[in-house]
Amino acid sequence: MGAAADHTHAGRGARDPDHQRPRSSSVTDLVNLSQVVLCLELPFAMFPLLQFASSSKRMGKWRSGWFLLITGWGTALLITAMDIYSLPDALKQAWVVIVGH
């Protein structure tokens, strides 16, 4: 199973000889980087939208109800907290993708 097995598994999930984690393709890295960017942008869209939807002045009788507002604000805060928590690791991974080290 020696050399033949190495060539059989050389593609997906192959081990990088210098590191212990599986190699990933540049396309996968770019997709992950785009998802990180979108995740970080999400709160900037959610907070103004929730503010707008909760305004009686702007929405009138179509203003969001209390359950939707509590759920929306709670979700926005949770997403923002998770973004802040994962930001250092996401920036490290983005740097690796951009610089290539």
What percent of the chain stands above pLDDT 90? Answer: 47
Provide mean pLDDT across the span 39-67.
93
Instruction: Select the more confidently predicted residue: 41 or 14.
Output: 41
pLDDT grade for 101, boundaries at 50, 70 and 90? low
pLDDT (tens digit, 9 = 90+) per residue, 9-29? Answer: 444 555 555 556 555 678 888
**Could you give the CA distance from residue 98 to residue 96 in angstroms, rounded to a whole number?**
6
Q: Read off the pTM.
A: 0.64
Query: Which of 16-25, 69-78, 85-94 shows the highest mean pLDDT?
Result: 69-78
Provide mean pLDDT across the span 58-73.
94
Task: Check whether 1 has a pLDDT greater than 80.
Answer: no
**Could you give the CA distance from residue 12 to residue 79 in angstroms, rounded to a whole number?**
31
